[in-house]
Amino acid sequence: MSELVAYYGENPVEVKGNVEIHQAPISSAAGSRSVEGATRTSLVYVRVPPEAGRLLVPFGDYDEWSLRDRYNEAIRIMNSLGASSITCETYGEAAVRRGFRAKFLGRGAKLTQRRIEDSEFNYRHDGAGSPPRDPRPLRWPDEPGFAAAVTSVLENGSTELDINISSSRTHAIDGSLGVQLKKFGFDLGGRTEHSGATRLHIRAGFPQSHKGWK
């Protein structure tokens, strides 16, 4: 779980050990940067890992912010590695009815993945490619597939890569942690418009000449 932090004016909120959150006086936030500008009291922030910029992101906006930031990093990595083609397809959850019998038995609808045709994440690029450059240090070094993509192209001469980026869904306002935080009177933010994306599928192709990289 990412580190949660909240700042207070006079006294911290008594959480009685029920949630793991660091509370500090607002004066200590002078050296911190929030994605929304000024740092506010009573608002729960997620502290972004140092590699990703040492930022404070409001709890309710973090899942969407993280998805966008990892998407931008994946595109940067592929371009740095000299991709000649890049495509990104967006998928979201959709409820599918399973028939009257299933509903009667209490099973209701099930969730499935559907492609979102008009998503802002959808992307396509075709070109000649370029000599590969090492994109490290990576902004999200622990994201599955990122470090492996670099190794695959630079060291193993891979000519095609697929990466899936999933929304974390761990900082939802109506999730168990969000509900618990709100019970203590914390503000969770959540003013960012959500894209509805739950998974991004990115595929990149690389010229054969990449096999000669040193």
pTM to 2 decimals? 0.87
Residues of the chain with pLDDT under 70: 1, 95-111, 209-214
d(CA 39, CA 7): 8
Tokens 């949630």 locate to 19
Query: Could you tell me if 186 and 42 are in contact, meaning their C-beta atoms sit under 8 angstroms apart?
Result: yes
User: Which residues does 92 contact at the CB level (< 8 Å), separation at least 6?
Assistant: 113, 114, 116, 119, 196, 197, 198, 199
* pLDDT score, position 212: 47
d(CA 122, CA 189): 27
What SS3 class is residue 31?
A: helix
pLDDT digits (tens, 9 = 90+) for 73-132: 999 999 999 999 999 999 998 766 555 555 555 555 566 889 999 999 999 999 999 999
Alpha helices in 3-116 (DSSP H): 62-80, 99-104
Query: Could you tell me if 26 and 43 are in contact, meaning their C-beta atoms sit under 8 angstroms apart?
Result: no
